A and B are shown apart, each in its own frame.
Chain A
Amino acid sequence: MKIIETKNLTKKFNSFTAVNNISFQVEEGEIFGFLGPNGAGKTTTINILCTLLRPTSGEAYVNGYNVVLEEQKVRQSIGIIFQDPSLDERLTAVENLKFHCLIYGLPKKLIKSRIDEVLNLTGLYEWRNDIVHKFSGGMKRRLEIARGLLHYPKVLFLDEPTLGLDPQTRRHIWDYIHQLRVKEKITVFLTTHYLEEAENCEHIAVIDYGKIIALDTPMGLRKFLPEDIIFLKTNDDEKARIEIEEKYKIITKITPGEGENQGLYLTVKNGEEFIPELIKNLSLPVKSISLKKPTLDDVFLRLTGEEIRKGTVKNENWFRHLVSIQKRK
């Protein structure tokens, strides 16, 4: 069964189309990533799947239930961790969790053991009776994940689960996500604009301007940019360039760098094997050499023609983007 399915889903806010005719399916038990810059339509899509927004047109099903017609059943099937914190900071951790249990109608005798279970899973048991206000950002996020799991949801939605957290905490959050997939056998649907995080997913949908522009496995997406980049520094870059061009026909592109990046960029297949070969055969001494494997960042660049936009998109820029896209068409 497809645990999430959308067909031609569209959401318009007045004349602005936030989600534009997207269709995709998520398999039960997988980690599915929604990757895209801010303002691409990720959160709007999640809000529709969580029944917080009504789609303008198209259909969406979660756990087999229609998100418009069977919203209560959809809500019972899902757990959500929103982009912004949604805890009651004046209550203790346990009070927040109890509130959730009762409002989701968990059987009374299950409540205590279930709360202990999720607190242990997220490593918060020790702080269970502390007021949430005193928690660090990472602890709050963990508590939200714990809360999202309480009612045994089939799908866990995570909207930018690691936004604004330090790298170490981000790693921890990811450990929890992987753990709970094993322990709770749950489907995870997440959005992110951290490309390196998207590599944790089984499938990634790249979304920009409300459209899915690619949907594949992380490996599959790499096919969009299969070559490695080698950065080479020598005493005489020009001489090196001529020599390399003569010797190796496999190189598709040589670009000289400028200023601090003075040197040569070589685009090759199988960079690891090419480097020793190059050092052995080049008549000039090599000052330094480095290899860069393509990341999803590069894929994203290739797909959207621009680097992933960091920070908030300002309105003016947004309109400029829209205009330039219109012109491209």
Chain B
Amino acid sequence: MNLQAIYILWLRDIIRHFRDRVRVIVSLFRPVLWLLFFGIGINSFFGRQRMVSEQDYLHFLFPGIVTLNLIFASLYAGIGIIWDREFGFLKEILVAPISRTSIALGRTLSGATISLIEGLFVFFLAPVIGVRLEVNKIIPVLGVMFLIAFTGTALGVLIAARMTSFEGFGIVANFVVMPMFFLSGALFPIGGNLPSWLRYLVRVNPLSYGVDALRNILIGMKVFPIWFNLVFLILFAWMTVFLAVIIFNKKE
């Protein structure tokens, strides 16, 4: 592992990302779409039934949409790898005297950073829907958000490691991100009377633990204890990075 190489790989992705204004703007728009259009729509009918005192569906939905922005941005970090392969830059990286582990880690960290920032964009909407973020919650929230972002990016890198087409990645990524989102408890509670097959799917989904941890910190609702959420997320992230590095290291 080579820290300087990881740093420069990370920096390059950050510079590239913020030069691409469209991507930044789209990532701002996604939470507006879900929280205001979807959330307020649902809330106006079902929201009267209070979940916890003084909290309505919008409060419930908020941590889910933070997670959605995180997972979308992080999974799509994998597209950077395909981009680099398609436009030749990956070769410049692969012939450099650095290990492929450094390459995979640099990419995962940059993707996690970018999606963490995009996840934070959702907090611009917090005052609009009345979610308050106390100062002492900032560090735990950032920590959980980074874990979710890191897990998602590792998954994206894993998917992209052997892929050569943008279309293919788009399809696979959507195929992964949508079920993960729907089955994470971002939109509906997972604690109650779900059918058992659905409950099983929810419990193998790493995102469920991310959403649960965030919701626990932000609005005090939970299904699992927070230590369990964190352990599951860390184990899953570690496993995915490990796999991504192995696949990335394979050579013809």
When C-beta atoms are compared, the residue in chain B nearest to A80 turns out to be B95
Given that A75-B97, A100-B92, A103-B96 are contacting pairs, would A53 and B251 also be in contact in the complex, using a CB cutoff of 8 Å?
yes
**Is B91 in the interface zone, CB < 8 Å from A?**
yes
CA distance A102 to B4 in the complex (A): 7
Verify B97–A90 contact, CB threshold 8 A. no
How far does the Cβ of B87 sit from chain A's closest Cβ, in whole Å? 7
Verify A85–B5 contact, CB threshold 8 A. no
- Number of A positions contacting B (CB below 8 A): 30
Contacts of B9 in A (CB 8 A): 103
How far does the Cβ of A65 sit from chain B's closest Cβ, in whole Å? 11
**CB proximity to A under 8 Å, residues B91-132:** 91-98
**Is A89 in the interface zone, CB < 8 Å from B?**
yes
When C-beta atoms are compared, the residue in chain A nearest to B86 turns out to be A84
Verify A76–B97 contact, CB threshold 8 A. yes
Verify A72–B91 contact, CB threshold 8 A. no
Partner of A103, one of B19, B93, B251: B93
Verify A50–B8 contact, CB threshold 8 A. no
CA distance A76 to B97 in the complex (A): 6
**Is A235 in the interface zone, CB < 8 Å from B?**
no
Verify B95–A88 contact, CB threshold 8 A. no
Given that A72-B97, A102-B5, A103-B93 are contacting pairs, would A88 and B12 also be in contact in the complex, using a CB cutoff of 8 Å?
yes
Verify B87–A75 contact, CB threshold 8 A. no
CA distance A84 to B96 in the complex (A): 17
Verify B88–A52 contact, CB threshold 8 A. no
Chain A window 69-111, contacts with chain B (Cβ cutoff 8 Å), 1 for yes, 0 for no = 0001101101010101111111100010011101111000000
Verify A86–B91 contact, CB threshold 8 A. yes
When C-beta atoms are compared, the residue in chain B nearest to A53 turns out to be B252
Verify A86–B88 contact, CB threshold 8 A. yes
Verify A75–B252 contact, CB threshold 8 A. no
**Is A269 in the interface zone, CB < 8 Å from B?**
no
Verify A88–B96 contact, CB threshold 8 A. no
When C-beta atoms are compared, the residue in chain B nearest to A88 turns out to be B89
Given that A99-B8, A102-B4, A103-B8 are contacting pairs, would A87 and B89 also be in contact in the complex, using a CB cutoff of 8 Å?
yes
Verify B97–A86 contact, CB threshold 8 A. no
Verify B5–A103 contact, CB threshold 8 A. yes
**Is A54 in the interface zone, CB < 8 Å from B?**
yes
When C-beta atoms are compared, the residue in chain B nearest to A76 turns out to be B97
Partner of A91, one of B16, B88, B95, B96: B16
When C-beta atoms are compared, the residue in chain A nearest to B91 turns out to be A86
Contacts of A63 in B (CB 8 A): none
How far does the Cβ of B204 sit from chain A's closest Cβ, in whole Å? 37
Verify B97–A85 contact, CB threshold 8 A. no
Contacts of A87 in B (CB 8 A): 88-89, 92
How far does the Cβ of B151 sit from chain A's closest Cβ, in whole Å? 26
Chain B window 219-252, contacts with chain A (Cβ cutoff 8 Å), 1 for yes, 0 for no = 0000000000000000000000000000000011
CA distance A82 to B88 in the complex (A): 9
CA distance A85 to B88 in the complex (A): 6
How far does the Cβ of A139 sit from chain B's closest Cβ, in whole Å? 16
How far does the Cβ of A111 sit from chain B's closest Cβ, in whole Å? 11
Verify A51–B92 contact, CB threshold 8 A. no
Verify A52–B12 contact, CB threshold 8 A. no
**Residue of B5, B97, B251 with most chain A CB atoms under a 10 A cut-off:** B97
Given that A103-B5, A103-B8, A103-B98 are contacting pairs, would A82 and B15 also be in contact in the complex, using a CB cutoff of 8 Å?
no
Interchain residue pairs A-B with the least CB separation, the first 7: A86-B88, A75-B97, A102-B8, A76-B97, A86-B92, A103-B96, A72-B97
6 contacts between A and B (CB under 8 A): A54-B251, A75-B97, A82-B91, A86-B89, A98-B8, A105-B2
